[in-house]
Structure 1
Amino acid sequence: TMSRPVTTQPQQLFSSVEAEWASGICDCCDDMKQCCFAFWCCPCFACRTTKQLGQCLCLPLLDVFGCVRPITMSIRVSLRQRYGIKGNLCSDCLCSTFCLPCVWCQMATEMKKQKLPTSAANTL
């Protein structure tokens, strides 16, 4: 049997143009209910957001053990890559370390705007 030549090339998952976050890091007050929840009970908010992303509910609790928050940073990087959002590891690290409630609000807002279904999130 003869093999047939490939007539189509694989398609890229994301556009080559990088997008912006749906909300800025300081726009957490746009949704006051979400902002208050994240500010007053950030661990609970982070766990809920992580669960909505389809990851282990208690994963963000591992961030308690250090000043650098590797779980928050990795989830931020994952969302950035999933949606083709501009940024770099350095800014993800700085934001995750110094603006924790704001970062979780930004990620939750991004998930709402992108309408990320929980079942599809399990592929991360």
Structure 2
Amino acid sequence: MTSFVIKQPGPIMESKESNQWSSGICDCTNDMAGCCFACWCGPCHACLHSREYGECLCLPLLDMFGFVPPITMSMRVSMRQRYGIKGTFCNDCVHATCCRACVWCQMSREMKGRKIPVVLTRARNTMLP
């Protein structure tokens, strides 16, 4: 008789990095080429970095439907949670609404700087006879 494991243990992200953004929202001099790209072709920049983050390539295009860009804001919240960065939902909302290109540039710099591999902890062999 063969037994199957129904639920696998999930990954736990552990970061040894800072709990702050590695660069400020307006630190364009840290990546001038990326900021120029975001300024001149914001949707392309957002789509490329969305895919790099592991989301759908065209997901940021949904930001066109509303005053507050929901995708930019949710990506920023997700990135803060993934990397353990302190902040508030309200702050993310204000940044995403007032300067979308700056938010995508900051998230791009953060992804380049953090490249944290996913490490499974508490994983064990669940081979059943």
What is the TM-score when the length of structure 2 is the normalising length? 0.76
Change (3 A) 1:116 1:34: farther
**For residue 68 of structure 1, what is the aligned residue in structure 2?**
68
Is residue 2:109 matched to residue 1:112?
no
**For residue 92 of structure 1, what is the aligned residue in structure 2?**
92
Higher relative contact order by CA 8 Å / sep ≥ 6: 1 or 2? 2
Amino acid of the structure 2 residue aligned with 1:38: A
Greater per-residue helix proportion: 1
Secondary structure of the 1:32 match is: helix
Aligned-residue offset at 1:29: 3.0
Provide the rounded CA distance (Å) in 1 between the counterparts of 2:48 and 2:89: 24
Provide the rounded CA distance (Å) in 1 between the counterparts of 2:20 and 2:105: 15
Q: Output one character per residue of 1:23-60: Cα deviation in whole Å (capped at 9) or x when no partner.
A: 10010232110010001111000000000011100000
Provide the rounded CA distance (Å) in 1 between the counterparts of 2:52 and 2:25: 20
Matches within 5 A, 1:1-124: 13-14=13-14, 19-115=19-115
Change (3 A) 1:103 1:13: same
Aligned-residue offset at 1:111: 0.3
Aligned-residue offset at 1:14: 4.4
Provide the rounded CA distance (Å) in 2 between the counterparts of 1:20 and 1:114: 12
Provide the rounded CA distance (Å) in 1 between the counterparts of 2:89 and 2:30: 26
Change (3 A) 1:14 1:88: farther
**Which structure's CA Rg is the greater one?**
2
Secondary structure of the 1:31 match is: helix
What is the TM-score when the length of structure 1 is the normalising length? 0.79
Structure 2's unaligned 5+ residue stretches are: 1-11, 119-129
Provide the rounded CA distance (Å) in 1 between the counterparts of 2:104 and 2:78: 13
Q: Report percent identity of matched pairs.
A: 61
Provide the rounded CA distance (Å) in 1 between the counterparts of 2:116 and 2:74: 18
The answer on whether the counterparts of 1:53 and 1:116 sit within 8 Å (CA) in structure 2 is no
**When the two structures are aligned, how many residues end up with a matched partner?**
106
